[in-house]
Amino acid sequence: MCGKMETVKARKSLILFLILVILGSTPLIWLVIQSNLPAEDPRQLPYLVSLMWVPAIASIITRLVYKEGFSDISFKLGGKKGWLAIGIALVFPVLVGVIAYGGAWAAKLAEFVVPETGMFAGLNPPLLRFSLTILMAVTLYAIVGLISAAGEEIGWRGFMVPRLVQSGVKYPLIISGLIWGAWHIPGVLSGIYSSSPNRVLSSLFFMLFAVGLSILWGRLRLKTGSVWPAMLGHAAWNQAIPVFTRYFPEEVPGVWLNESGLLVVISIMLLIILFDRVIVPKVFKN
C-alpha cells in the first residue's frame, strides 16, 4: 500500500511540475520567437536565461506544494563515483565533437578554420590553440555556464527523472529526453537555434539528440544521486560544441553539424550505446 501511495504522489507531483513548466515557458518562448533574433544575440540573453530557469522554479514550487523537501536532489559531489560521473559528463561533448566534426572535416563537409579573434588569438600551432580552447570550454567556461544550465538540470534531471522512475513510467530516461526535446522544438522550428534550412528535419534530429543526452545525464543522476554530473555535463556541452562549430564551419549550417546535425546525432547515439551499455555499468558496478 505504501508503495502504491508513493507512486500516486509521484505522478501528481510530475503532472503539476509539467503544467508549471508549460505555463512558465510559454510566454518566454513567445518572446524569444517574436524577437526574431538568433540565440547568440546578446539581446536574447535575458529571455533565454529566464527560460532555462523555469524547470528549476517549477520543481521548487512543486516540492513546496507537496511538501517533498529538497534532500533527494543532492548537491553533494558524491565522492569517487561522483567525480567519475562528472569526468564522464565533461569528456562526452569532446568525444562527440571529435567524431562528428572530425568526420565532417575528413569527408570535406567542413573546413578547419582558425578564427582571427577569440581565445588564445595568435597562438601557434592552430591545433594547440583549438585544443586549449576546448579544454577551457569544458572546465572554466563550463563552471560559468552553470548560471543557465543549472536551472534546467535542477528541474529536468534533478526533479523530473526521479519522478518518472517513481511513477512507474516505462523507459523513463527516453521519456525525459522526449519531454526535454519537445520543450526546445518551438525554437528550432522558428529558426532561433539549432536549425537548418529544413526545420522539420532539424526538429527530428534535435529530438534524437535530446534523447541521447538525457539517457547519459539521467543515468549519471540516478547512479550517483547527485545533480552535479548533469549540470556540469549540460554546461560543458553548451560551451564545447560552439567551439567546434567556430573552428569547423560547414557550407550549409545545421545540416551535418550543430546540435541538430546528422553527424552529431549519429555520434551521440553511437557513444550513448557505448557509455550506457559498457562504460557506465563498469564504472558503477559496485
> Can you tell me the distance from the alpha carbon of 149 to that of 53, in angstroms, rounded to the nearest whole number?
8
Count of positions (residues) in the chain: 286
Give me the number of domains the chain comprises. 1
Residues 218/275, Cβ–Cβ less than 8 Å: no
Start-to-end CA distance of the chain, whole Å, equals: 30
Range of the structural domain that residue 19 is part of:
2-283
Name the amino acid, one letter, at 221: R
Confidence (pTM)? 0.93
Closest CA to 236 of 127, 101, 122, 89: 89
> Of 272, 129, 259, 144, whose CA–CA distance to 195 is shortest?
259
Specify the pLDDT at position 1. 46
| Contact predicate 226/81, CB 8 Å | no
Segments of the chain scoring below 50 in pLDDT: 1-2
Q: How far is CA 224 from CA 56, 77, 220, in A?
A: 20, 9, 6
pLDDT at 79: 79
The reported pLDDT for the residue numbered 41 is 83
Closest by alpha carbon to 175, among 188, 187, 193, 163?
A: 163
Instruction: Give the pLDDT confidence score for residue 286 in this predicted structure.
Output: 63
Predicted local distance difference test score (pLDDT) of residue 123: 84
Of all residues in the chain, what percent carry a pLDDT higher than 70?
98
